[in-house]
């Protein structure tokens, strides 16, 4: 059995200013030096990717993005292609976050397509799985999490998980 290295990834959601991002990144980079045996990544909002990438150069903290499009570059206003993320130095990308599912109607099929697109471009997808409080109270936790995982398995096969990370976020 191969043990995978744990990953600690910070999702900054829709927060930040240049000054706050600079201060936070400085703290993360200096604090990361003392942490061993786990990967570390930050996933700032898209406008701060370049700034974060520059601040993380030479550190052990990886850069991640909060979402990725299923589309290749083209006429898709507001979308961000996987190739753009790799061009900015991203290693990771979050897919299937509960907020994307709730507020943007992303379903398991779309999330699986984002997962596959990320892998295709050499990104490590962080697949978010987890139930809502209401689903947990109804005893649906296992069914919901299985559906999130099955979406990727049905599209890409179980071997796709060797190229990604699963994050449980109930």
CB 66 within 8 A of CB 43: yes
Query: Other CB atoms closer than 10 Å to residue 90's CB: what's the count?
Result: 26
| Lookup: tokens for 122 | 């050499």
* Phi (first) and psi of residue 119, to 5 degrees: -60, -40
Sign of CA dihedral 38, 9, 3, 163: negative
Record the tokens describing residue 10, joined without a space: 């910070």
CB of 115 within 8 A of CB of 164? yes
Task: Please tell me which residue in 54, 72, 120, 169 is annotated as part of the active site.
Answer: 169
Choosing from 97, 121, 131, 148, the catalytic residue is 97
169 is catalytic: yes
Question: Which residue in 61, 56, 85, 66 sits closest to 12, CA to CA?
Answer: 66
Active site residue 148: no
Catalytic (active-site) positions: 97, 169
């Amino acid at each position: 059995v191969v043990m995978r290295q744990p990953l600690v990834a910070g999702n900054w959601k829709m927060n930040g200013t240049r000054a706050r991002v600079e201060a936070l990144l400085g703290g993360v980079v200096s604090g990361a030096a003392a942490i061993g045996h786990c990967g570390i990544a930050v996933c700032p909002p898209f406008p701060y990717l370049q700034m974060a990438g520059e601040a993380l150069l030479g550190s052990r903290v990886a850069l991640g993005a909060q979402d990725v499009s299923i589309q290749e570059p083209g006429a898709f206003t507001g979308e961000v292609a996987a190739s753009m993320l790799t061009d900015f130095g991203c290693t990771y990308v979050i897919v299937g976050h509960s907020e994307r599912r709730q507020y943007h109607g992303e379903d398991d099929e779309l999330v699986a397509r984002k997962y596959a697109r990320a892998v295709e471009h050499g990104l490590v997808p962080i697949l978010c799985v987890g139930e809502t409080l209401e689903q947990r109270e109804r005893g649906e936790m296992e069914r919901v999490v299985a559906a999130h995982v099955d979406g990727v398995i049905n599209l890409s096969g179980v071997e796709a998980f060797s190229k990604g990370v699963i994050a449980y976020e109930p």
